[in-house]
A = this chain, B = another copy of it.
Amino acid sequence: MAKITAEQVYDRLLNFDKILEQRGQIRFFLGDVSIVVRQRDVVGSIMQEWLEGWLRKNNYDYSPNPNTQMPPDIYLDTDNREENLLEVKAFNYLASPGFDIADFRAFQEEIIEKPYMLHVKYLIFGYSMTEDGIVTICGIWLKNVWEICRAMSNYPLNLQVKDNVIHKIRPAKWYGSSSNYPPFECLEDFVSAIDETVFRNPKTRDISGTWCSRFVDAYRQQYGRTLQIPRWNEIKDRYVRQ
């Protein structure tokens, strides 16, 4: 079994397998009759399994995360579960990215406990399905989490908010024409947005006084590097354009 990095997965799919030129379909077989399944939303939930099939077929070593609720989907290095972590996402390219990044409250805790979760690579498939059920991959990206996150008008992150309670972190549209809410340019700016959201969210405000210093300490322990996290007000104008 060979080893492969997230970057090599992306490169091989794009340039060797020429994934953007392939056509796919979903078929249902029963008895001696088979039909094409024309349900777009199914594709979004099976690309992770497809990628695992691809890794097996190409004899690459990997391990799926037994906890399917939390990133990463896949450990590419089975000997080191803090590097080469891969999360697989898929969305209907004719709509906007519709997947969730994470539950906000769990995420802010998670990156203090496991700072390497900030370096999970997101392998993202933008697919389309014709009326006839032909599936095409229209775009493929390998991204850091901050490169697919953005602010929104009244929060430093794009959040799903219900009855004033913050739930999921939702993605940016990181490709195509620029919007008033561009993706974050670096890890530090993304952490600044999380820090500000910890403060603004009533459910996490009581831990906001020390959240940023706890995160910086944890990250230094993991990587030996002291991050300089800007205040949200200093960088806000770059991410919330009028």
Enumerate chain A interface residues (CB-CB to B < 8 A): 17, 19, 22-35, 37-39, 42-43, 45-46, 49-50, 52-54, 57, 135, 137
Q: How many copies does the complex hold?
A: 2
CB–CB A35/B19 < 8 A: no
Residue from A25, A31, A37, A43 whose CB has the most chain B CB atoms within 10 Å = A31
CB–CB A54/B31 < 8 A: yes
**Chain B neighbourhood of A28, CB < 8 A:** 24-26, 42-43, 46, 49-50, 135
**Chain B neighbourhood of A35, CB < 8 A:** 46, 49-50, 52-53
**Chain B neighbourhood of A39, CB < 8 A:** 42, 45-46
**Chain B neighbourhood of A26, CB < 8 A:** 26-29, 37
CB–CB A29/B33 < 8 A: no
Complex CA gap A53/B30 in Å reads 10
Complex CA gap A37/B29 in Å reads 11
Contact A24-B32, Cβ < 8 Å, known A37-B46, A39-B42, A42-B39: no
CB–CB A31/B46 < 8 A: no
CB–CB A33/B54 < 8 A: yes
Which residue of B24, B31, B49, B135 is within 8 Å of A19 (Cβ)?
B31
Which of chain B's residues has its CB closest to A18's CB?
B31
Min Cβ gap A13→B in Å is: 8
Min Cβ gap A64→B in Å is: 13
Which of chain B's residues has its CB closest to A45's CB?
B39
Complex CA gap A193/B235 in Å reads 67
Min Cβ gap A158→B in Å is: 28
CB–CB A24/B30 < 8 A: yes
CB–CB A24/B29 < 8 A: yes
**Chain B neighbourhood of A54, CB < 8 A:** 31, 33
**Chain B neighbourhood of A23, CB < 8 A:** 30
- In the complex, 16 of the A-B residue pairs with CB atoms within 8 angstroms, ordered by the A residue number, are A23-B30, A24-B29, A24-B30, A24-B31, A26-B26, A26-B27, A26-B28, A26-B37, A27-B27, A28-B49, A28-B135, A33-B53, A33-B57, A34-B53, A35-B53, A42-B42
